[in-house]
Amino acid sequence: MDMVQIAVLLLLLLALLLAGGVWIAIALTAVGWVGMQFAGAAIPAGSVLATTIWGNSASWTLAALPLFIWMGEILFRTRLSEEMFRGLAPWLNWLPGRLMHVNVLACGLFGSVSGSSAATCATVAKIALPELKKRGYDEKLSLGSLAGAGTLGILIPPSITMVVYAVAANVSIIQVFLAGFLPGLLVMTLYSGYIAVWHLAHPSRQPPPEPRMSFAEKLRESANLIPCLLLILLVFATLLFGWATATECAAWGVLGSFAIAWWSGSLSWEAFWHSVMGTTRITCMIMLILAGASFMSTSMAYTGIPLALAAWVNSLGLSPYALIAALLVMYIILGTALDGISMIVLTTAVVLPMIKQAGFDLVWFGIFLVLVVEMAEVSPPVGFNLFVLQTMSGKDSNTVALAALPFFFLLVAAVAIITVWPQIVMVLPKLAFPD
């Protein structure tokens, strides 16, 4: 069998296992085992399985993963979600759309300390949906903006998805984190711009402005956001100035989140235990997927499939932009059936050689992937954010999916912008780590 036939066979086997409901980690490991049978009898599949899984799991870099998850779990159980709306709302009365922008800003703020799209969406929706409905804001736009802005949890660092990509692609976590800041601001600007334009086009559907407040009153309302902002500054100052590694910063973030929970009066034994168990469940799931993906990646390397695929793509003569467009379509299709982390670990072994061949920077491609994963979060039928909002609003899945559609296309626009102007992604990593 030639390489193309082997690749098709392995992909069909993977699709069959996933369609049959087999756990993703087990499916990846099984496909890796079958792939090893094409690598030659001289290479023992069992030994490769053991050494690969241990070598990729026993990583100091991966220690940042459970710590960032724990940081988000702790803050999820504080009063931060309640204070966020009160703290941000007084500053937004002058904008078209007024308090609707709280969805975007609050998701960006909570996303920077959560690292999880679902947690960000659920936390902000819990307080914003009833408040916006009570004030008479358009419910469809509220749902759509929350579905879209909730994805900021994985784009604005620290991000669990970024850690997974950095490990899978063997690139610097710090550089990927830094690369996410400006695209995060870009997506927030696109979302807020759409909300403003929508309200300018529908002035009759905008409720009356809130009572005016003095500057001192605004500061008092926002005072409870200060600890969270200080935590964000602490984590990224240590990263940016090289005072600590990503793993050490995650440990400081956990310590800071405990301090905020204590300060807000929500640090109880029950909250602590729930945060530990939530972190354990999420970490075990991701680690099992990474272990299976690392074995499949190694098996594909032994068979020579990635190099053959890269050579095949190269022979097609696709321009770099055509390659990115093709990958975008592929990931959008995958996003309708898989969650973001699974998309990354399933495809990096095959896609990264193509990206290198086309001359793209792997740090830039990490942000491209995160943006595409954001699309998956708002793509039916398995978009996690759609599930969250469907549960919290009581609306049917079609209503929520249609509300999120404009924000899906705004993410497509963000991908186009960073592809045409890659310096938006690379300027901060280049400044922090000049060649």
3-state secondary structure 230-259: HHHHHHHHHHHCCCCCHHHHHHHHHHHHHH
Regions of the chain short of the pLDDT cut 70:
1-2, 4, 40-42, 56, 59-61, 79-85, 113-116, 118-119, 123, 239-240, 246, 305-314, 336-339, 380-384, 435
Average pLDDT over the chain reads 81
CB 210 within 8 A of CB 98: yes
Q: Given this model, what pLDDT does residue 133 score?
A: 83
Angle between helices 226-240 and 173-201 (to 10 degrees): 140
Structure tokens at 291: 């272990």
**What are the residue ranges spanned by the domains of the chain?**
60-286+301-432
Q: Given this model, what pLDDT does residue 339 score?
A: 64
What are the C-alpha distances in Å from 99 to residues 72, 87, 197?
25, 11, 14
Among residues 111, 223, 161, 102, which one has the least CA distance to residue 348? Answer: 161
**The pTM is what?**
0.75
CB 112 within 8 A of CB 156: yes
CB 351 within 8 A of CB 297: no
Q: Given this model, what pLDDT does residue 435 score?
A: 65
Angle between helices 397-420 and 423-432 (to 10 degrees): 60
